[in-house]
Amino acid sequence: MMYHYPRARTDLPRSTTALALAGSAHVWFDTVDHFDAAGAPVAAAFDAAALAQPRAVLPGLPSDRPLVMGILNVTPDSFSDGGVLYAEDSARTVAQVVERARAMVAAGVDILDIGGESTRPGAADVPVTEEINRTAPVITAIRAEGITTPISIDTRKSAVAEVALKAGADIINDVSALSHDPSLGVLAAAAEVPICLMHAQGTPQTMQKNPQYSNVLTEVYDHLARRMELAVGMGIDPARVIVDPGIGFGKTMAHNLDLLRGLSLYHGLGAPILLGASRKRFIGTISGVEEAGARMPGSVAVALMAAGQGAQILRVHDVAETVQALALWRALTGDGAAI
């Protein structure tokens, strides 16, 4: 395997020979490093223009700036916001989620990501029926409110996704990359919807028990390339595949930092990159903030670094703060003009 690593830049002024990275109006590159799995430099002929092709997520959504995906966890046990929106009274749960969705839309969210099963380290599996009962009613209610913002269903299970799509979801977000339930790929192909394939080493029950890699950047890359090939073999349009390196899913803090520093490598896969690092433990470890809900500033810092490497989707808890930070980042990297 050979890896093509564009050196993402937001320098001003921009070089006259530079190319936009994955269609971004704010991130560019004029150098591509080539190396093998051992990390040795390799001389290679490569069409760098392929790295400049826009990566559209859904028709109608911008492809020249990072999209903000707002997290709506309808769970009692998610690591940061478990129980915040979830209540034993289902009507109360629906009302709380709809209220939060409206607030996110007002703040400028691009995609709403709804999940009914925690995948934090050590989390137990949720039965299919329970997961459907948590997610489908809130999707139906959001659509009934007239909210047209695209909705992503965060699930590993085809039965859950099928009901969610019928209720009004537009995207499937699978943290198992079709390894938990391969029929989810068949569903995505038939429904002709985008699907996000995330890298994870192990399951939620085992993933943080001494994760190891020889080279985390290339091993995650190879895994995602194989899962993309599998998805395409199931009939999924390659243009509908999104990739996620899986920050915190079977990774140590050092692994997470390596992935973030080298994030632009994954543009070589030819798919939009989703980055989900919001409020995760490594942010608290580095900043000394134990409470997950208090990690907004660190989360925004990570989001801006990902934006600076051309990530197309930023999955976050703190929508308003991230949208505001990105507005300033875009102005500062757009020849000084507010956009």
Token readout for 16 is: 């006259």
Nearest one of 204, 141, 208 to 176, comparing CA atoms = 204
- Within 13 Å and on the Cβ side, how many CA atoms surround 164? 34
Are 273 and 303 contacting, i.e. CB atoms less than 8 angstroms apart?
no
DSSP 8-state symbol, 273: B
Q: What is the pLDDT of residues 49-79, one digit of tens each?
A: 999 999 999 999 999 999 999 999 998 755 4
Kindly report the number of other CB atoms within 10 A of residue 146's CB atom: 7
**List 280, 281, 295, 330, catalytic entry:** 280
Strand (E) or helix (H) holding 136: helix 128-144
Token readout for 23 is: 């269609």
The confidence score (pLDDT) of residue 293 equals 92
The confidence score (pLDDT) of residue 16 equals 87
DSSP 8-state symbol, 151: E
**List 120, 281, 315, 330, catalytic entry:** 315
Q: What distance in Å separates the CA atoms of residue 60 and residue 111, rounded to the nearest whole number? A: 12
The confidence score (pLDDT) of residue 79 equals 47
- Does 280 qualify as catalytic in the annotation? yes
Q: Which range is least confidently modeled, 24-38, 83-97, 211-225?
A: 83-97
Q: What distance in Å separates the CA atoms of residue 68 and residue 319, rounded to the nearest whole number? A: 7
Are 272 and 243 contacting, i.e. CB atoms less than 8 angstroms apart?
yes
Where residue 14 falls among pLDDT bands split at 50, 70, 90? confident
- Does 157 qualify as catalytic in the annotation? no
Question: Is 81's pLDDT higher than 70?
Answer: no
Are 194 and 219 contacting, i.e. CB atoms less than 8 angstroms apart?
no
Residue type for 147, please?
I
Q: What distance in Å separates the CA atoms of residue 158 and residue 176, rounded to the nearest whole number? A: 12
Q: How far is CA 200 from CA 48, 179, 208, 280, in A?
A: 29, 10, 10, 15
